[in-house]
Structure 1
């Protein structure tokens, strides 16, 4: 009797997992078109890393560099956060600024191609919530390094 009940529970659990797993494998896409400025000029020394926080672990989707005219254009799949690393206004060559941007869910679409792009112009000399300065000190990456006075 106990084995029969356990078998039914396993069967119901298996059906539930199979039915819900289809949603896990659907395609999602996001499109980003960002133009970077540093003190009014196009700025290309920007590296962007796209993360997906929908997965149990932070999943790196990809890493991209801005073009010569300061533009970043890509699309991928997800719940996207974009981390930007730049040296706009930075005098210490061993330091860079990290900014993160959450891309709103309205720009995440079902399917392989986004219908609308998240477009922005970012002035890198400005301060942003969550901005972080990181430097290499004694061969190690140190975060939250204060800005010089």
Structure 2
């Protein structure tokens, strides 16, 4: 009986620790661990000198295994956009903006490139205090790390 009780106790501790590891994000939110951090990015996208309308943008928190989407948006008819998001994290968030487009490209998928957001534009709280302006980018250019993405 004592052996069964000891095995049951060990199994309970193991299962509980696995549930906590799997549900770490929920635990952080429920327990209030970490601090809420916010970021915002704006800019204008063009294609061969013309506004690039309806371009998909995704603001992510860069994670070790899977990036976490903070916000998704699109450019307006003038190619302008602003996306912002927030996330509760123990350490400083590592935000990035993915841009998905078909400027000068007729394939089935999209061209994708990533812009890392400087740490200076991250603040505590739910709302971004400053906006990182990427300026005007011509999507006809080739950007470092540009790839093709079919699953965006």
TM-score normalised by the chain length of structure 1: 0.68
Helix, strand or coil at the partner of 2:120:
helix
Question: Counterpart of 1:83 in 2: which secondary structure?
Answer: strand
Deviations 1:53-85 (A, max 9, x none): 257642111221111111111221132111110
Structure 2, gaps ≥5 residues long: 1-30, 87-92
Deviates more, 1:96-105 or 1:58-67: 58-67
Please tell me whether the aligned partners of residues 45 and 86 of structure 1 are also in contact (alpha carbons under 8 angstroms): no
Aligned twin of 1:29: 38
Cα distance in structure 2, aligned partners of 1:113 and 1:61? 12
After the TM superposition, list the runs of 4 or more consecutive aligned residues in structure 1 that deviate by more than 6 angstroms: none
Q: How does 1:16-95 map to 2 (within 5 A)?
A: 24=34, 26-53=35-62, 57-77=66-86, 78-92=93-107, 94-95=108-109
1:118 matched to which residue of 2? 132
CA distance in 2, matches of 1:56, 1:127: 27
Number of residue pairs the alignment of both structures matches: 115
Contact 1:45 1:87 (8 Å CA) reproduced: no
Structure 1 unpaired stretches of 5+: 1-20, 135-140, 143-149
* CA shift digits 1:107-144 (9 cap, x unpaired): 1111222222110221101111100124xxxxxx49xx
CA RMSD in angstroms, aligned pairs only: 2.3
1:129 to 1:54, Cα distance in 2 relative to 1, 3 A? same
- Asked if structure 1 preserves the Cα contact closer than 8 Å seen for 2:71 and 2:84, the reply is no
Structure 1 residue 86 displacement after superposition = 0.3
Deviation of the 1:23 alpha carbon: 5.5
